[in-house]
Amino acid sequence: MAESTSLPVLFVTDNIVLPGMVVPIALDEAARAAIDAAQASDSGQLLIAPRLEDRYPSHGVVAKILQIGRIAGGGTAAVVRGERRAQIGVGANGPGAALWVEVTEVPPAEVTVEVKALASEYKKLLLAMLQRREAWQIVDYVNSLTDPSALADTSGYASYLTDQQKRQLLETTDVGERLRVLIDWTGEHLAEVEVTDKIAEDVRDGMEKTQKEFLLRQQLAAIRKELGEGEPDGSDDYRARVESADLPEKVQEAALREVGKLERASDQSPESGWIRTWLDTVLDLPWNVRTEDSTDLVAARAILDADHHGLDDVKDRIVEYLAVRTRRARRGLQVVGGRGSGAVMALAGPPGVGKTSLGESVARALGRTFVRVSLGGVRDEAEIRGHRRTYVGALPGRIVRAIGEAGAMNPVVLLDEIDKVGSDYRGDPSAALLEVLDPAQNHTFRDHYLDLDLDLSDVVFLATANVIENIPSALLDRMELVQLDGYTEDDKVAIARDYLLPRQRQRAALSDDEVTVTDAALRKIAADYTREPGVRQFERLLAKALRKVTTKLAEDPVPTTPTIIDETDLVGYLGRPRFTAESAERTAVPGVATGLAVTGLGGDVLYIEVGSAGSDGPGDGSLQLTGQLGDVMKESAQIALSYVRSHAEELGIDSKALNGRIHVHVPAGAVPKDGPSAGVTMVTALVSMATGRQVRSDVGMTGEVTLNGRVLPIGGVKQKLLAAQRAGLSTVFIPSRNEPDLDDVPAEVLEALSVTPIADVADIVSQALQPAAESTQAAA
């Protein structure tokens, strides 16, 4: 064990002294006392230790005084050299005014193979950093060191280490541990230095490149000036392009003003880039380009009929538009531009009836270009009107971009899914569409980015929607509404035979001679495999069947006979039928009536179920509603129950039958339901439950009911009757005031259904319920 000795101690605050370091120390009163005491002692040594604020130091360095002299400013300093690491013990007595302590010198560490490896790795890192700084003299000194402890203690001169880290090195007596932490610290610092140098080099190279390009551009400009040539991409070129372009007068004036700003702006100014982009956008728009409309009305109608089956309302409106424009042209009247010269139509109906594809057919019939603008999910008003040029990355709105894509000022623009437009803090896109879709205003439409009047009056706008109620009333008022209520079974068979089947044959690489689908099979698919207003699912089923035929042909490339898909073959190709007539099953018990409803997917049947807990049950006289009903539908149930109770005697109901808790349920509880048109169905179901008489299974009904039993008109008569036909019903009761709506219903639907207009709900009840004897026999 090392012996302890007494040495005067000098506490320093400005630096940490490690063994091997030679440092100057300014001599204040305490330092002078320690130096004097050391010189007076036999060893001539003193202990230098760091002054800590939180604790007494545990280690210091035994140092030797090399020189004492004056420094600049008249002060005195001593130069000392740290020699050995020592552990500080208790205080001791000694001569002079200095503080003495007992110290125990740390013995030299054993140099193991691991310590030598650590020393070698640290030396490599240290030399790499010194070479990066080009400190070649220090490199030679470090190369000459062979003692691992001395090598580690050279870190006392490292400027990248903090005093806290150096103090940790002083107090770490194990050489291997010191080398490990030094390797970590030095490696991290070297990585930071390399990144910093790389960034500085990139910045320097970028600045040199920018300066070089600037000088070259100045020289190029001077050369072009001497040769009399203009800048090909500069403001002179834009002025020539604007002056030669076929622009309206006001647009050309605005463009020339922007060219003047570009000429005055510096090439390095961000504004010059914005102006160039704006000028490019203006010059790319077809300000005075218009396509010639077709004047052959017969050919236009033939194109529409060839592309789509039915949809006569839309086809008639397009032919009327062409007829008016052709007549005005023949009489020399203005037909291009101006207030109200365009057409704006809203095609509303369930999915799959051909709304979107109709836009392309309309463009072909008119002889115009076609552009589709999808509005589903658009929530930013700037998507319609554009961004102002003050914003970074500003662009014109979708309407202006559509005109640019079309290459003419009179295209057919399809605004797809206009009922799916949203609104949030960024604005309401539907409000921005008010001007676009108003024939009385859109001849001066102003986009925020262009800030110029754009004439949209000659554009034919077609908007598509599934749910009319989701379109703001002010916007709907500006469009001509055309309802597409879905197809009858005959329509679907004709569409499949003439349109869908040829298209799917081509996609499956089949010819007419290789596969045939009979009309009976098509009718079976329409009746039992799909219950949709459109034909989208119908086409998927045809594609599925033809894919199976293609697979069979791949296994047997040379079939003996062509494949014929008949009604009896559908189970093998499409599986079992997905839909069967269920009205008879659902209405087999009293208290269930069949209603008709309209959803975003078209018409559908709706079953109303009513039950009673009995007069002795809890909650006598209360009404319980289930099936996720909306407020309006809940009120209809209250009204229906009030009517039945007030007219119980007239309806042949025992008053006690309605004293218990009445439960009204509308199945498919996961689907929200609302609207007043189920009122008559609820009355019929309540009377059926109270009297025990079943509702006829072939009867459907729709209509709003009042407390007095009056049947009020409802909407969607055509869609509801189509749904009744698909469900296999034969008798439908509708409000009397909806009788004029039957003019829009296809003749084959009216032939298949017995539609009875009713003004009083009591008449529906009397005709819809089976006689008591039949109900009792059916129940038995």
- Residue 779: predicted pLDDT: 47
The answer to the question of whether 355 is labelled as a binding residue is: yes
Q: Is the pLDDT of residue 338 over 80?
A: no
Instruction: Tell whether 614 is in a known binding site.
Output: no
The pLDDT tens digits of the residues spanning 501-557 come to: 999 999 988 888 888 889 888 888 888 888 788 888 888 999 999 998 888 888 776
Return all residues near 62 (Cβ < 8 A) that are at least 6 apart.
7, 45, 46, 47, 82, 83, 84, 85, 86, 103, 105
Q: What is the pLDDT of residue 780?
A: 43
Tell me what pLDDT residue 1 has: 41
Token match 């030095």: residue? 186
d(CA 700, CA 697): 8
Asked whether the predicted pLDDT for residue 58 surpasses 80, the reply is yes
Q: Confirm whether residue 352 is marked as ligand binding.
A: yes
For residue 236, name the pLDDT band (cuts at 50, 70, 90).
low
Residue percentage of the chain with pLDDT more than 70:
93
Query: Is 323 within 8 Å of 295 (Cβ atoms)?
Result: no
Q: Residue 230 — very low, low, confident or very high, per pLDDT cuts 50/70/90?
A: low
Residue 5 has phi, psi (to 5 degrees) of -130, 165
581 confidence band (pLDDT: 50, 70, 90) = low
Burial bucket for residue 481 (CB in 10 Å: 0-12, 13-18, 19+) = middle
Cβ contacts of residue 422 below 8 Å, gap of 6+? Answer: 377, 378, 379, 429
Tell me the per-residue pLDDT of 264-314, one tens digit each, with 9 for 90 and over: 776 667 778 888 888 888 888 898 888 888 888 888 888 888 888 877 878
760 falls in which pLDDT band (50, 70, 90)? very high
pLDDT digits (tens, 9 = 90+) for 194-214: 888 888 888 888 788 878 877
Q: Report whether 590 belongs to an annotated binding site.
A: no
The 10s digit of each residue's pLDDT in 352-370 is 888 888 888 888 888 889 9
What residue has token string 């019903």? 729
Check the annotation: does 354 bind a ligand.
yes
pLDDT per residue as tens digits for the range 591-633: 899 999 887 677 788 889 998 876 555 546 788 888 888 888 9
DSSP structural state of residue 378: -
Per-residue pLDDT of 107-147, as tens digits, reads 887 888 888 888 888 888 888 888 877 777 788 878 888 88
Q: At what angle do helices 270-284 and 235-244 cross, to 10 degrees?
A: 20
Question: What radius of gyration do the chain's Cα atoms show?
Answer: 47
Asked if 476 and 438 touch (Cβ cutoff 8 Å), the reply is no
Catalytic residues, which ones?
Answer: 677, 720
Task: Let me know: does 53 contact 47? Beta carbons within 8 Å.
Answer: no
What is the C-alpha separation between 91 and 6, in angstroms, rounded?
Answer: 9
When the pLDDT of each residue in the chain is averaged and rounded to a whole number, the result is: 83
Q: Is 232 annotated as a binding residue?
A: no
* Residue 396 · residue 383 · CB < 8 Å: no
Task: Tell me if 351 is assigned to a ligand binding site.
Answer: yes
CA neighbor of 611 nearest in space, from 685, 547, 716: 685
Among all chains, which residue has been given the structure tokens 């009517």?
643
- Compute the average pLDDT of residues 316-342: 73
Bridge partner list, 424: 427
Distance (Å, rounded) from C-alpha 710 to C-alpha 735? 9
